[in-house]
């Protein structure tokens, strides 16, 4: 694997980790369920469906991009992704609400749908596309030939798994630390507006994708 290819996989993992830090994208809901049921296992039970919903949102965006890439030039895909990221960023700046599905008495399916809608509303799936729709240098003989990262279904699936692994790891760590050690009071003492950071990151990513 070339250094460029390694950078792409590392960035996918770290972007998933950043998604996991955001309380609005999973761990806050897991902690709330645990505190409502007064059981650590409620936190653990909520994590797989939350991660699954997030992974489905990422997978849908990657799959759609890969399908369009078969019939459209790469530059057209880049422009579409850039405009989508820019639009989502502006939307997130103006409106920070998250989609809500059901109440606190939720099951596996409810949590999966909630997580899917939340990740989709945040533009999480589109955020990974600049890493994949670009060009990744891989060794071919004695030189490096540019190839598209979205080249096979296997590569697409691996990209989703790597990203989701980063997301699940950080989401689980944050949920258990807050539930066991800090409590929800930590959000009042050390609050960072991650939604604002995310909105700005979406806009910047859109601009960089246009310039790629």
Each residue's pLDDT expressed in tens, for the chain with a length of 212 residues: 555 567 888 989 999 998 898 877 888 888 877 877 778 888 899 999 999 999 999 998 888 887 877 777 767 767 877 787 788 778 777 765 544 444 445 678 888 888 888 788 777 887 788 777 654 334 444 344 334 455 677 888 888 999 999 999 999 999 998 888 876 665 555 555 656 666 776 677 677 667 75
Please give the Cα distance from 72 to 109 (Å, whole number): 35
Query: Measured at the alpha carbon of residue 169, what is the angle toward residues 121 and 199, in degrees to the nearest 5?
Result: 30
Query: Measured at the alpha carbon of residue 101, what is the angle toward residues 98 and 104, in degrees to the nearest 5?
Result: 105
pLDDT recorded at residue 127: 79
- Structural contact between residues 65 and 77, judged by C-beta atoms closer than 8 angstroms: yes
pLDDT recorded at residue 190: 52
- Structural contact between residues 92 and 31, judged by C-beta atoms closer than 8 angstroms: no
Please give the Cα distance from 80 to 111 (Å, whole number): 30
- For the chain, how many structural domains are there in total? 1
pLDDT recorded at residue 197: 63
pLDDT recorded at residue 47: 93
Cross-strand pairs, 144: 139
pLDDT recorded at residue 134: 53
Q: Which residue range(s) make up the domain with 109? A: 3-211
């Amino acid at each position: 694997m070339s250094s460029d290819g390694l950078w792409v996989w590392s960035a996918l993992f770290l972007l998933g980790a950043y998604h996991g830090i955001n309380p609005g994208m999973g761990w806050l809901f897991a902690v709330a369920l645990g505190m409502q049921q007064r059981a650590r296992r409620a936190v653990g039970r909520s994590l797989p469906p939350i991660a699954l919903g997030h992974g489905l949102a990422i997978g849908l965006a990657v799959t759609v991009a890969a399908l369009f890439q078969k019939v459209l030039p790469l530059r057209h895909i880049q422009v579409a992704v850039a405009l989508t990221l820019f639009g989502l960023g502006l939307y997130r700046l103006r409106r920070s609400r998250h989609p809500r599905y059901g109440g606190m008495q939720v099951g596996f399916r409810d949590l999966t749908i909630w997580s899917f809608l939340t990740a989709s509303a945040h533009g999480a799936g589109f955020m990974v596309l600049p890493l994949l729709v670009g060009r990744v240098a891989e060794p071919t003989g004695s030189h490096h030939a540019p190839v598209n990262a979205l080249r096979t279904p296997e590569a697409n699936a691996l990209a989703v798994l790597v990203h989701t692994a980063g997301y699940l790891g950080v989401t689980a760590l944050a949920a258990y630390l807050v539930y066991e050690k800090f409590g929800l009071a930590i959000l009042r003492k050390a609050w960072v507006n991650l939604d604002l950071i995310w909105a700005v990151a979406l806009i910047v990513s859109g601009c960089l994708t246009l310039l790629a």
